[in-house]
Amino acid sequence: MNALITWLDSRTGFKDLMHEALYERVPGGARWRYVWGSTLVFTFTLQVITGFMLWSAYSPSTRTAWESVFYIQNVMAFGYLVRGIHHFAAQAMVVLMAIHLVQVVIDGAYKAPREMNFWLGLVLLQIVLGLSLTGYLLPWDQKGYYATKVTTNIMSATPVVGAEVQTMAQGGTEYGHLTLTRFFAMHAGILPAMLVGFLALHIYVFRRHGLTVHDVNHAPETNFWPDQVLKDAIACLAVLAVVMLLALFKGAELSAPADAATKFDAARPEWYFLFLFKFLHFEAVNRLGITFGAIIVPGIIMGIIAMMPLTYKFLGNLGHRLNTTFIWLLGAAIVVLTAMAIIEDNNDPKFQADVAESHRDGQRARELALGPDRIPVEGAISLMRNDPFTQGPRLFFQHCKACHRYNGHDGRGSLVTEIVKELVEGKEVETTVLTKPTAVDLNGFGKREWMRSVVVDYPAHFSWLKNSGWYKQAAAAEAAGTEVTYLDPDNSEMADWSGSRDSLMSAENADNLTALVEFLFAEADHGFQPEDPKTRGDFTDVDVSLLDKGRAVATEGAWAGDLNGTSCIDCHSTIGQDFVVAADDEGDGYPTMAKYASEAWLRDFIRNPGAARHYGEKNEMPAYRVEKLSDQDLDLLIRWMTGNHLPSEVPDYGSQLNAFEVVAPQGAADATE
């Protein structure tokens, strides 16, 4: 080994290089406060290594970016770990950079002759922040897409050249392929090259002037090797351990594929930029404009920091105390604003609902991408756009929540509320109040419990109608003696028949009721699961052994006790028949029960609820023509309601029924069913 080392040294002179690098004198002894620069270099090295690994599997285009990151995250061996390390090391780098800056200011490492090195450090700070911003977009998911879009919009607020800067960053006037490729070029090429160059200058100037010692009498003078190297190595190991633990147990999130056509309200910058986000949302800052809050104020702050060497030069120790005070106040302000933003978001029900939907979409995107269809040539975005489980709640929110609820919520997990203005002690006060539904809750539509509830407790099942204005007006007019035709859940033949609850639910009718419910459930076609796993729903199979008896109960009347001799067909003549829309169908005065709650029935009902075969003149529901609800959207909505989609293990939105004074109808489906 000695001969080999001597031969290498004679050819390269590496011994002198190693001696120059490792045997620097450390006045006052090795200290933990000096480790921050080394941890930053280590974290950047970690970023470069994992970045090259990610680069080998990443494809920067709008149709392949999310897909390649999904491949890295879910298919590539240890890809989730590599991406997690890269993700959390980037966050660690920002934190370490901030700590290093504070330590430099406190120790006065900006003083002459080290001004140039201080300014080089500020340039490195800007490059690191640039790497954070450009990397956020690369997965091309909803979270990164919309957060970066906000960032580029802020660029447009730059005085004089704002619009040109935004256009250059975006690669045009709109977000698209060129935006992604430019951000990738910045993140993987231009900014890392700049960082390496300025880092080399930074280290060169640092070695030229030596370490800034806080207290030369702290301990006897020592060498960089091995004492300080040991502390630096331990600090780097601690950083690596934290990053590894986060990568293993938390992991880097990948939300749903970016879709400009889908509104995304959960967009936030990374947590270390939340202070600026919160600052920009103060009312006073808003009034002064985004240019003031996002360009002028940060520019002034960076200017003050850059002027610190001159502040000390002209004011001496007073200048140093001012610099130290300013950096501590700035750090405290950043911490407070970040905490305010986090607390505000945690207490914002709408934002939390948006975050929950974002997580739900991300999980569903993973399910679909791993499903039988995998990712089509059109890209993962087509999976989400054509998925009833994803789009159904959005379409319900858009078209149905004004009257209906789904398990008490708006289809997307939130209560429907409105702002009411009231005069309190002469002052107008705004209060957020719960908006009650005016039509039946559609959770569990067509399931067994839905059918059972309609049969045994019709008035309670449709009791939501009583909240509507038309019902109250009609009931008041009827009470005044006016003859009114309207749908009254308490006063109808069905209400009277369902009122025989004791007989319906008696022991002697238990088998009849079970068989009837099973028959109605089978008629809705929700229970039969096709062999093709791509289209089957999450409903259980029908018990075919009960169907003949259920049909007999519905069409012939096989009840015991007070209900003996009655049957559904007495009023609903089409029960048990196929659903066929006839142009001259005038109905029989009662809603059709032919394939009630099936996809065919539901499609016809939504398009024309006022038809004689449905509610006729009693109808209050608007007809959703194709101009208002396209055939494709209607199909997605219906398939979601009937469960005709790829099964999902993603948790559904929780029940909000307990928020209403009107309790859920007896027998209503549970939220977890």
pLDDT at 603: 96
- Domain residue spans in the chain? 15-264, 439-659
pLDDT score for 504: 83
Average pLDDT of span 222-240:
91
Poorest-confidence range of 106-110, 172-176, 509-513, 563-567? 563-567
Whether residue 113 has a cis bond before it, omega within 30° of 0: yes
Residue 570 has pLDDT above 50, yes or no: yes
Reported as a pLDDT band with limits 50, 70 and 90, residue 475 is very high
Query: Per-residue confidence at 662, pLDDT binned at 50, 70, 90?
Result: very low
Grade residue 661 by pLDDT with cuts at 50, 70 and 90: low
Token pair belonging to 118: 């201080």
Q: Is residue 261 predicted with pLDDT exceeding 90? A: no
Q: Locate tokens 């702050």: which residue?
A: 301
Q: How far apart are CA 108 and CA 103, in angstroms?
A: 8
Question: Is the Cβ–Cβ distance between 297 and 280 less than 8 Å?
Answer: no
212, pLDDT greater than 80? no
44-86 pLDDT per residue, tens: 999 999 999 999 999 999 999 999 999 999 999 999 999 999 9
| Mean pLDDT, residues 9-31 taken together | 79
pLDDT at 670 over 60: no
DSSP readout, 345-408? Answer: HHT-HHHHHHHHHHHHHHHHHHHHHHSTT-S-TT-HHHHHHT-HHHHHHHHHHHHTTTT--BTT
Q: If 0-12 CB within 10 Å is exposed, 13-18 middle and 19+ buried, where does residue 66 land? A: buried
User: For residue 531, is pLDDT > 70?
Assistant: no
- Segment 250-271 mean pLDDT: 90
- Evaluate if residue 622 carries a pLDDT over 70: yes
Fold designation for 15-264: Cytochrome Bc1 Complex; Chain C (1.20.810)
Q: Give the range among 92-106, 144-158, 599-613 with minimum mean pLDDT.
A: 144-158
Side-chain half-sphere of 572: how many Cα atoms within 13 Å?
Answer: 20
Taking residues 181-207, what's their average pLDDT?
A: 95
Position 151 scores a pLDDT of: 86
Residues 407-426: tens digit of each pLDDT = 999 999 999 998 888 877 77
Nearest CA among 616, 610, 576 for reference residue 593:
576
Rounded CA-CA distance 574/163 in Å is 65
Grouping H, G, I as helix, E, B as strand and the rest as coil, residue 293 is helix
**By C-alpha distance, which of 415, 401, 404, 371 is closest to 389?**
371
User: Hey, which residues does 433 pair with through a beta bridge?
Assistant: 418
- Is residue 311 predicted with pLDDT exceeding 50? yes
Q: How far apart are CA 233 and CA 239, in angstroms?
A: 10
CA-closest candidate to residue 309, choices 119, 110, 113: 110
pLDDT tens-digit readout, 632-641: 999 999 999 9
Q: Is the pLDDT of residue 533 over 80?
A: no
pTM attached to this predicted model: 0.86
- Contact status, residue 438 vs residue 403, Cβ threshold 8 Å: yes
Distance CA 1, CA 23 (A): 22
pLDDT recorded at residue 373: 82
Task: Give me the residue label for tokens 């994803």.
Answer: 390
**For 227, which DSSP code?**
I
Half-sphere exposure of 67 (CA within 13 A, CB side): 17
Radius of gyration of the chain (CA): 34
Of the candidates 602, 593, 611, 595, which has an alpha carbon nearest to the alpha carbon of residue 638?
602
Task: Answer for the pair 457, 498: CB distance below 8 angstroms, yes or no.
Answer: yes
pLDDT higher than threshold 60 for residue 152: yes
CB 267 within 8 A of CB 256: no
Region 481-504: mean pLDDT is 85
CA distance 588 to 571: 8
How does residue 12 score in pLDDT terms, banded at 50, 70 and 90?
A: confident
pLDDT at 338 over 60: yes
Using 50, 70 and 90 to split pLDDT, how confident is the model at 584? Answer: low
* pLDDT at residue 106 is higher than 70: yes
